[in-house]
């Protein structure tokens, strides 16, 4: 009898596998942080994780490309590629020496990001850390996000402290010591 019970449980059609479990875990952690310490503090905690991940991802791409620094075009390509690898759908809308504007149709966190804007700090910090460590400076503006109910995301990475960059709300990033 135990075997037939185990077999029937293991064959249940449940939306549970590693990816969904981990996305749900992150959603619940960020939601708990938002509820306990507030959105600003929760975003700060997630920012620390994003910065560390950004540094590691930056090193991985530079090593794979066998370069000491990424160019602006490489930064844009890397940011799009890393999101594709984690099942996002980011793309470059426009870029020049002052900024890179990204669009996104699919969040890597899927529906788990809805009403969890603190989770967007992962994108901000990974993008900001990689851009700043290679190009010297970045300011990331999360103009539109799926987390806040938009149909897609619009993320602007300012590469220079221009009057336009100064006027927008966003997080600033500077080259880390490991890249000097």
Q: Is 142 a residue whose pLDDT tops 80?
A: yes
Range of the domain at 166: 16-179
Domain annotation covers residue 1: no
Domain annotation covers residue 9: no
Please report the pLDDT score of residue 7 as a whole number. 66
Domain annotation covers residue 8: no
Domain annotation covers residue 23: yes
Beta pairing partners, 41: none
Q: How far is CA 36 from CA 4, 16, 63, 87, 117, in A?
A: 44, 27, 39, 30, 15
- Residue 39 to residue 44: CA distance in whole angstroms: 9
Domain annotation covers residue 3: no
Long-range contacts, stretch 85-91, CB < 8 angstroms, 24+ apart: 90/153, 90/155
Which backbone phi and psi does 177 adopt, to 5 degrees? -60, -30
Q: Is 8 a residue whose pLDDT tops 50?
A: yes
Q: Average pLDDT in the 128-152 region?
A: 97
At 44, the pLDDT band (50, 70, 90 cuts) reads confident
3-state secondary structure of 35: helix
Provide the domain count of the chain.
1
Domain annotation covers residue 156: yes
- DSSP for 55-111 reads HHHHHHHHHHHT-SS--HHHHHHHHHHHHHHTT--EEEEEE-SSEEEEEESS-TTGG
Residue 114, burial from CB neighbour count under 10 angstroms (0-12, 13-18, 19+): middle
Domain annotation covers residue 2: no
CATH of residue 173's domain is 3.30.1380.20
| CA-wise closest residue to 156 among 48, 79, 63 | 79
CB atoms within 10 A of CB 67: 12
At 178, the pLDDT band (50, 70, 90 cuts) reads very low
pLDDT tens, position by position, 112-129:
999 989 899 999 999 999
Upper half-sphere CA count for residue 80 (Cβ side, 13 Å): 17
Domain annotation covers residue 104: yes
**Structure tokens of 171?**
């997080």
pLDDT tens, position by position, 48-78:
998 999 999 999 999 999 999 999 999 999 9
């Amino acid at each position: 009898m135990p075997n037939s019970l185990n077999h029937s449980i293991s064959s249940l059609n449940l939306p549970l596998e590693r990816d969904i479990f981990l996305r749900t875990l992150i959603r619940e952690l960020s939601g708990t942080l938002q509820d306990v310490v507030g959105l600003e503090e929760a975003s700060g905690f997630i920012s620390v994780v994003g910065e560390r991940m950004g540094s590691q991802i930056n090193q991985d791409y530079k090593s794979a490309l066998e370069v000491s620094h990424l160019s602006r075009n490489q930064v844009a390509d890397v940011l799009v590629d890393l999101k594709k690898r984690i099942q996002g759908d980011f793309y470059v809308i426009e870029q020049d020496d002052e900024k890179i504007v990204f669009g996104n149709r699919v969040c890597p966190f899927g529906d788990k990001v809805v009403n969890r804007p603190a989770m967007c700090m992962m994108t901000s910090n990974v993008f900001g850390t990689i851009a700043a460590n290679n190009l010297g400076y970045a300011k990331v503006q999360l103009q539109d996000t799926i987390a806040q109910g938009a149909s897609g995301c619009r993320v602007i990475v300012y590469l220079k402290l221009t009057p336009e960059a100064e006027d927008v709300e966003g997080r600033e990033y500077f080259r880390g010591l490991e890249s000097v």
